[in-house]
Amino acid sequence: MTDLTTILAGVRFPNPVFTASGCAAAGQELDQFFDVTALGGVVTKSIMLEPRSGRATPRMAETPSGMLNSIGLQGPGIDVLLDKDLPWLAERGARAVVSIAGGSVADYANLASRLRDRPGLAMVEVNISCPNVEDRGQVFACDPQAASGVVSAVRRNTAPGIPVFAKLSPDVTDIALIARACVDAGADGLSVINTLLGMVIDTTTMRPALAGITGGLSGPAIRPVAVRCVWQVHQALPDVPILGMGGIRTGLDALQFLLAGASAVSVGTTVFGDPTAPVRVLAELEQALADRGVEHVRDVIGLAHGAAGHLVPEGPDPVGDEPAAAMEEP
């Protein structure tokens, strides 16, 4: 079988399948369905400094091949994560990727320093792209300078051996520009992508379906957008590791992200319908790689960017031998 080990900014993970932030709290709920240590990593729900109840309900709506959420960063606050969730993950032997979110650069810096030197912490994911904040000015990932300010503060306050990944938003004109700003500010890698800003109107009430009006769109509907973003970021910054996510439901979906340039993937929304999805995706990915004769997962990272000729059976020139004039016939 294929060697699934993947390395993200110098940290070795046994395989490239992680949970996605916000879809599995801190892993305890999923652990009743499968052993969370079987995954490459467990990415926790974005945590803020203080406990937070989030936005008003309703805050979830179904969409074609996806869902819209306006949770608004509900969570118990950093103290509970440090006292309860992180020790639980560490005792289990899971590799914890802690996602942090704040309303200011100082919040992020404070969160990073609270996490410093905590056992079990494998990586920090900086959520600068939550679409459900009341002030759109707080979507730091939509502006290169704002993104850079947060990332450099987190990097400064995080232990040197712990990678800092910035989570990017697809709701920008040039995602590579923001990616570069984050890397220049000290990000060791990038999480690509957060949800897309969307909206549903309930035609019975004739009002927005979500109390928060807009929400973040996730699920298979966004997969092509996510693959495109991973592709563009990898093309611009080929040496920067990417944790790819957005609508992954199967092992072949995960493979698309690796081929586009991700070194690992997060499985998110699909766990609401199938809590075992992360380990199923891992098994399917392993099989898909073996079927393709891949010896090491690193051999497929970004492979779709290269000359694909060797992957396709040799055949005649796609234009064929037909004279050009013949091709123009109706």
97 binds ligand SIN (CB under 6 A): no
43 binds ligand SIN (CB under 6 A): no
| CB 158, min distance to ligand SIN, A | 19
| CB 52, min distance to ligand SIN, A | 9
142 binds ligand SIN (CB under 6 A): no
268 binds ligand SIN (CB under 6 A): no
Q: Is 23 a catalytic residue?
A: no
| CB 101, min distance to ligand SIN, A | 7
Q: Interface residues for ligand SIN in 47-86 (CB under 6 A)? A: 69, 71-73
148 binds ligand SIN (CB under 6 A): no
| CB 162, min distance to ligand SIN, A | 21
Nearest to 231 by CA among 205, 257, 269, 270: 257
Nearest to 308 by CA among 259, 236, 253, 264: 259
Nearest to 220 by CA among 240, 245, 237, 183: 245
- Beta strand segments in 169-287, E: 189-192, 196-199, 201-202, 207-208, 214-218, 242-245, 264-267
285 binds ligand SIN (CB under 6 A): no
132 binds ligand SIN (CB under 6 A): yes
Helix (H, G, I), strand (E, B) or coil at 131: coil
Nearest to 192 by CA among 223, 176, 169: 169
Q: Interface residues for ligand SIN in 206-265 (CB under 6 A)? A: 216
158 binds ligand SIN (CB under 6 A): no
Calpha distance 101→138 (Å, rounded): 10
Stretch near ligand SIN under the rule CB under 6 A, chosen from 126-134, 172-180, 255-263, 265-273: 126-134
Calpha distance 231→302 (Å, rounded): 8
Structure tokens at 90: 């560490």
Q: Which residue reads 């563009």 in tokens?
A: 232
| CB 171, min distance to ligand SIN, A | 11
Could you tell me how far CA 305 lies from the centroid of its own chain? 20
Nearest to 24 by CA among 276, 282, 280, 265: 276
46 binds ligand SIN (CB under 6 A): yes
Residue of 130, 142, 182, 229 with catalytic role: 130
144 binds ligand SIN (CB under 6 A): no
127 binds ligand SIN (CB under 6 A): yes
Nearest to 243 by CA among 260, 266, 259: 266
| CB 292, min distance to ligand SIN, A | 33
Please identify which residue in 2, 15, 191, 195 interacts with ligand SIN, judged by CB under 6 A. 195
Structure tokens at 107: 């919040």
Catalytic residues: 130
Residues that bind ligand SIN (CB under 6 A): 22, 46, 69, 71-73, 127, 130, 132, 194-195, 216
